[in-house]
Homo-oligomer: A and B are copies of this chain.
Amino acid sequence: VATDNKLHQFLDLSERTEMLMSFDSIETVERLGKLACERRMEANVLLIIDIGFHRLGVPVGEAVSTAIAMARVRGIRLRGVQIYAGHIYSSASLDEATRIAHDEIAQAAEVADRIRKAGIEIDIISIGSTPSSLIIAERRWTGATELRAGNYVFMDRQQVRLGIANYDDCALRVFATVISKPSRDRILIDAGSKTLTSDPARPPFTGFGHVVNKRGIELSMLSEEVTTCHLATDADSVSVGELLEIVPNHACMMTNLAERIYVGRNGLIEDAWTAQARGKVW
């Protein structure tokens, strides 16, 4: 959010319900404060802190001074801090992921403590990715008031790679039909990058998804509507017309692509969901 019309939208919503917005730049918060004052409102904001993902956020060393500056802005109420340790997804092992999750909650608690000691009353310490949330919940580490775990709803292959889930935990699956078998080592399925997305697997995982109902099938090369798969094992075990059940690399992207998600239990389809916010990312 950087433009006044978006800030006004946020204030419009704040009049109707409790809203929070996260910022890492004092300049934008000053603009928001000015607009809020004009409307005789107070806007709730969080300060984003970067602990190693290097996306949004001020460095830990600048957290207290930025918090003080934000809290001083008229029309603004600084409610807390927000951290996202997205680099946890690059972990090579569950041990490394556990260290990052520990670092995330420890740094969040420490920086919140330092902000409070500077005289700013904050009540929200928001952290979390799906892996860190699960690690933190399991170990009962305290300090955060909110865990933001989006992937948790479905789980996917990246969680399996990190050791956070197994394939049985992954609720989102693609059912694709084998449409061609042009050679002994190659099949084509009718799901491509418009279904599975081109989000790659991280090493040592490869390919664009994992086939759970058949062994030795590598989803090697995506086209838009089809995927070229290579057969590592017995070619006779796969035939044209067969249905493959695939756990995708990244569940979040798929819900943005599918018009409908069929919901099943015990082998029966019970419902069809539509992602309301699908495609609405501007």
Contacts and interface: CB of A to CB of B under 8 A. Distances in A.
B58 A182 contact: yes
A115 B228 CA distance: 27
A200 to B, nearest CB: 7
Number of copies of this protein chain within its complex: 2
A241 interface: yes
A198 B198 contact: yes
B55 A253 contact: no
Interface in A244-262: 252-253, 256-259
Given A1-B179, A55-B188, A179-B2, A281 B198 contact: no
A110 interface: no
A27 interface: yes
Contact of A253 (B3, B194, B256, B259): B194
Interface residues of A, number: 52
A224 B281 contact: yes
A55 B226 contact: yes
A107 interface: no
B194 A50 contact: no
21 contacts: A1-B190, A2-B179, A2-B240, A3-B241, A25-B181, A25-B182, A27-B240, A54-B186, A55-B188, A56-B180, A56-B182, A56-B188, A58-B182, A191-B281, A192-B281, A193-B253, A194-B281, A198-B198, A198-B199, A198-B200, A200-B200
Interface of A: 1-3, 24-25, 27-28, 50, 54-59, 86, 177-183, 186, 188, 190-195, 197-200, 221, 223-226, 228, 240-241, 252-253, 256-259, 279-282
